[in-house]
Each structure stands twice: as C-alpha cells, then as structure tokens.
Structure 1
C-alpha cells in the first residue's frame, strides 16, 4: 500500500485470467444444492473468525470481500450468486447486503462493501452464502474486520550509534539503526529501503482467483516488526555502494499497513576501496601479468576481507572474476590484457561480515597499431610518381602478429602473412598523383584484430 494513495496492488497471473475468461460462458442452471462459500478473504487478506483478533484493513474506497461458491455436484461449473452481509459488531441490526451475481462455482467471487457503510475505527462482522435459483446455502462463519482509514500521524524517528550523520565515518561494519514509532500507539512495524521509492505492499492472486497474502514482515530486506505496538525496532544493515553519502528511507506501518509520512537518515562513509598493483609498472598487451590486491587498512580492522570481485573493461571479452583472499586480506591473480587500445579493472572487496567496498579503478593504455614505412612514399610527405612502385613495410608493436590486412584508398582489403620476424612488405603502384592513404591492421595468432593505422602520403 503506497503512502500517498493507499492503493492496494493485486497481481493476477495470466493463468488465473485465462481461467476467469473461460468461466465467462453462458449461464447454466445449477446441477447441485448450493454449499457454503469457502476460501474467505477481505481486502485480499485472510479472514479472521476470532472476534477478539479482527483483521485491520483500510476501507476508504470500500472493502472487497470474497469467497468461493459451490454446489453439492463436484462437476457443476454453473453460474450462481454469492450474497454477503456485514454489520457493526456493536449493532448487529444494521446489516448491509451486497451480491455478486453471475459467479462461477469453484472461483473466487469478489464484491465490495460500500465505504459509506464502514466507519473508521469500528469493527464489523461479515459472512457469505451461495445462492442458486430459489435455494441458498448456510451462511459462513463470520469474519471480523476493524476499519482503519487513518495512517500514523507522525513519521518515525531514526538514530544510529555507530554512524552519526555529521561526520565522515569509517566503513566496514554494518550500520545499526534504531527506529521509533514517534509516539504513535498503533504502529506495529516499519518499512525501510536505501531507495526513496519504498516497495508496494501487494498480494499475488493464485489459481481460481484465490489471494495468496504474505506477512510483509517476513521480507526482512524491507520490513521490521516493532518490539511492541507503538514501540521501536533495531536494524543492522550493510549500505550499498560502500562509500559516499548514504540515505535510509523509513516509514511506520500500523495494523492495517497504513504508512506514515516517509522520513530519512543521511550519513557519510569514507572510501574503503582496495588497492590494485601490477607486478610491472606498464603491463604489455597479451602478456600474463600478476596483480596484487590489498584491502583498505581501516576496513580490514573492522572485519577481514575474504574475497575480491574483479571486473575487466575494454578487453576482447569483458568478465567478472571472483578471487579469494588470504588470511591477511591480500590476494594475487594473473590476467592477460587483450584490449586493443588498453584495458581497465574495477575491483571491490567483500568482508567476512558482508561489507562490500566501493570500487578501486586501475587502467593502462597501449598502442597496438603497426608501424608503416616506405622509402619511396614517406608518411605525410610526397615522393615517387604515377606508375612508380613503392614498397611498404609493416612492423608490429606487440608480440605474436601473424598477418596484416591493408587497403589503399578504401579499396577492397587484402591480407599478407607476416614473416618469421612478424613483419611484412607489400608493393603498390599509384595510378594517379596527389593525395593517397593506406589503412592497415595486424592480427595475432589467437585471432585478435588489433587497432588500425592510417598512413597518409602524396604522389608526385
């Protein structure tokens, strides 16, 4: 239920929709005697048959009540009606009746009790019966509901003993939060998130239209029950991102899951990023290089680093590697860098208590274009002439080159094999004078196409 509109989300499966459409066939006469509806729900939550423990529900636009009608003939899929009666527990003579006509046996048959018949703060009983032709089943046992259309008047208060809001804090241990109802007696719990848009409380609809309500407090990622009505709750959370300005968003929930205004707690966490050090200052393309990963000292003192996540960026096939740490929090790994212009790493550490650091970045760049030379047609110069052949020599800047692919003036590409020294030469005779250009790239033994190089020259 969102705090702004108090709307309830009901998620219907396509299978349920298909069954409901299939049930919309012309009405048939009931083959059996009507039986008392089963699977009773109110506001998509379970019916309570205990008058001393009613279900608390918001009913500002009415209250959906429902049950599955049936007959004594188990094969009967005919149309029937379901009649619902509701009355204030304090005055059983004030009965409100609503009917769901054209209901199908075996499927939930919802109807809405009108909002003007339901007073805020009052407890109501309701029951259901199946009607077919001139016959009616027995009434179901009453369900008890207390209407609560008033959300908590105060937002909760939030405090943290280990991450105060007015300083940069050393990260590494979970944040302890204390949430307090702020003097609102009917608050039963809290909803929280690291994002301002809090999740919607909803109910999934299962087969035959049967609601499948779940206690929101079973999802400990976003909900925490108060220690008593109007009380408080303590959270222990690892913030996302590892460093920077963090904000936790919180609202109180009453027994009907009405939400209070949302409040927040903002604090700051200093960087806990690891360090990344290659074995050589400038790793070469295609050469296996060992990297040493070291934890942030302050982080390590809070909880030992047990693993690193290493993401490669700019290589032939970017990947994420998980690397286990030694007892002192360090780790070593080997990588072969194969990005044709360079490559970078983003490394985060994970501590034993679940803390994930912010990312350390490391990068390098290198030139994998071939060197091109010509004695007749110098680069960015002029020479030769129309019909005068020139030799162009290709030399690699990286290891293990096996061929070169080239094109003059955008013509179709051609490929020449490299010699034993990984070089190659080609001869070319210009058909015209003036400006010309050559584009060439090398290919390695493993099939990597390296960066292209453009060679410009003029023909006399």
Structure 2
C-alpha cells in the first residue's frame, strides 16, 4: 500500500498528497484537572490517526494535526464520490484492568453532509493498523460495533462518544498495550453521501474511568516523631510534627494521596484550625506530616486528627490524637547538694580521682521530669530522670580538674521547657606543689650564689610543710603559709644546672606528689663601662680606647677573667687585681658593631657563667 499525509482541511477542499516517512503519532496522557467522582483516571490522545479512501484503495491517509477527517461517503470539489473509514489507536498499557469501570472514545463532529439524516457512525475494535493497511486491506475487526452517543440537539455534536468498555476489557485481558478502533458508517448506508460526517482531527480522546474505593481511616498516629505514638500525656512546649499513616487499597495506579489535618482545643471543639500537611515515605508506607504551631497557642489541652484524599474520595477522619501545650518554663532553678563536694567550702575537698554524689531537686516545681547538667551552661548534654513527677535525682560526677569547679544544672518539665540554670561551685583539693626561682644574688660568703626558691600550693589543701633536696643532698624543710606559699633561700650554689626534688606534707604526715625539676644558677660576672663604649650602646671611635671593669659574682677561688669578641675570637686572659676585679682596655680597629663574651676563671679550673653584650663603635 501507499501511505500519505494530508494537511489541514480548509473550506471543504482537499489539498495535495505528500509522502511521509512514518506512520505513528506520539501518544500523550493528559493529566486530569481538579478531581471529581466521575472524572476519568486516564485521558489519552491518539498514538495513530488515519483514514482510508475507496478512490485510492491501496493508500492510507493520516492527519497529524488540524482540519477535519471524513467518515462515510462524500464528494470532492470535482464531484467524485469517496467512501472513508477512520482508524484511531491509543496506548493503553498503563491501565489496571482490575479497576476498569468505563472506557469512552470521544470525538468532535465539525459538520454533517445532511443534517436530516440520523447519525449512524459506529466504532469497533480492530487489529493493529499497520503499513499494509488500506481501504482494500482493512485491519480485521474484533468484537461488536457500538453506536455513537451525541451531546446536544444540534446535528453536529461538539462531543460524540462511543462506549468501548467491553473492547478495552478484552484487549487488556489479551495482554495488549494498544487499542485500535475503526469508525465507519454501517455497510447498508456507507455508500450514501447523505450519511457522511466529518470529525475534527485534534479532538479525539480516550477517557478511562476506574473504580475507586475511598482510602482507609488513617492509623499509626504519632506526635513529634514516628517513635512517639499518640497517648494521653504528650506535652509540647514548641512546634512539633504530627504524623498519620495513609492507606488506600486500590491506589494502583496513579491515585495521588494527600491529606487534611486540623486541631482544636478540647475546651472548644468547634474552634478547628487547619494544618497544611506534607507527605513522607517510610518503611510502613506513606505518612501525612503536619506542623502544630505550638508557639501561637495558649497553654491547655488539644487534639488533632487527619484524613486521606485519593483525588476522588475522602477517608473517614482518624481517631483524635491528644496533646497538651505547656509553654511555661519552670520558674526557679533546681537545688544541688553534695556531701563530698559542698558548695563554696572554706577549704577544698575530694580530688580529681574522687567521684562525688550530687543530689538535684525540682525546688518545688511540680511538673519537672528530668534534669540536664554539664560543666558549662551551654553544654548541658547529660540528662537524668527525676524519681517521680516534681521529684529529685542523684548522679555520680567526677571533677574534670582540681581547684574551683562549677557544675551547671537545669530542670526540665514534661513539655521540654528548661528552668534557669543553677551554677553550683565547689573546690577540688589539689596536692600539687609548684616551684620556681624568684631571685639570684651572690652569697655574702663569696662561695656561690644565693637562690630564692618559691614553693606554691593550693591554699587550704592541708599541706603545711615542703620537704626538698638540692642535687640529692640532705632533706630540708620549708613552712607553708596560709596563702599556700613558702619561700626558701638555697645557698651557696655554683653556677650551672641544678636538680630540685620536693614534696608537700600535711601536719599529720600525709604526703602529696613527689616532684622534680631543674633550675639554672647564673654566676656570671658584673661588667661596667667607663662610658667610652656604653654597654648595648654606641660611642668612641676607631683607635679610641675604652675600659671595661669585670667583677666576679663568686669571689672565692677566682683568679682571672677570660674574654673574646666577635672581631678577634682568640680568648684573652686578664688576672684579677688586688681589689678582686679586672680592668680590660679595648681599642677598636674597625667601626660598627662588636659582640663580647666574659667569664671568670677559678683556681680549680672551673669557669663561671658567661656574660655577653654588644657595643657600636662610631
């Protein structure tokens, strides 16, 4: 056969034929508008629209868009009589046969050859319309032909329908995914031009209505989350989510489930407030989720319920789910007490290794259910339940550090409202002793340096004495004052590094932590300038002499001074004079910066600590 396409029919005249490369039109499923009880669940547009013509028996013509298309007999402008049949195909594979209620082919008549003639157009299912189909080779018909039903009294109906429920039922039963229908005038009148009619090409539709069962009453109601089933004692202090499970036994296919939610005060059930819900899916199916605006509600008892809509029918309302709004915070902070760690004690107690028992009470607030606590008022992450409504709770808490510590506690009511925060401050005993040098000066004996050592510990911790040893020597004792401080002069000590071990002891002999540290004794000499070259300053000039006087800090056994500078790093030795000092005359050979190092030599070959400084020669 030969397949051609015709353009839009204008003024009742047929345009020329044009060769086409394909037969099928794209199928379109139209989304229905606002649903009503009689609305089809599916509205299809044709995937193929064609007609055959008795004057070209081996050719099929189809109209992709626009104009109208003939059925029955008609005459062209030249007076030639034609007979035509229309074939329209719809893709119906997505229809669920178990819910099929009615299937209707819809067309729109544009004109009739003779309005006096009764409409005779019939529709009948056929085999697929293929590239071999034509007037002389029509597809085989299937089932019975059905007559048209027109809306309106005009001989041209804006909506003409054919009931194809039986045809679609059989096609789906055979597992077919397309339904092709032939529109024709019965054979007894097919050759009579007065029975011919014209249908608009863009107005063919296939409307499929499915049986519908209303959704079930929502169940599995939850407050706040899907772990909190509805119960008689849900208290809310802030906005929370209401959850209801939605079920529709005949949801397949394409029944979109939505929900309606509303809440009301139990004191006035007529004061209903709607909630705009969304949906969420989970392991148990589809849930309606609505936010209850607690912040806008006064304290009191309320209830909410939900129902489901499948775009055609509503479910019954769910059972009411009760909740109580309580936005009133506990007015006072809880009380806190501990036998091991009393609040603000005169002397510290316990230790970082000792847990304490802390008792929290609601301080008379009747609806407290728990307490939150932590070591910062912004990190109350720990929680303990009260032993009864408005009751108390006991915890075990280990201090994080020694010294002054604070435990922060707030009570929480049934709605999650928190009380003011209670700051409970206590002091943790610390037996640590710190030691450091506060001063060093030459010992009057001249045999070493006198080092002032300060020992410090926590006031009130019970330590009264510091026992110490220097460089493994004999044990010495220092008395601790009320401020936790003891100062002791260690003498005489040679320059260099020394070891100090020490421990704090109480009056009863209890010892704290044995500790060790090192400290450095600086026995470097004192150096003065005659002013020509100020120390760490500038003066003099090239070939201008200046004098530095070196005085040993430790005099016993001192014999001489050894020194060198950054210009001449060869050590030079100057004996000490009768006054125990050495005068060194320095004459620079270059201008600019020079660095010096000085140390004292002793009869036993030892050296003092070095003393260094710089000068700038003008």
The TM-score with structure 1 as length reference comes to 0.44
* Structure of greater relative contact order (alpha carbons < 8 Å, 6+ residues apart): 1
| Larger CA Rg, structure 1 vs 2 | 2
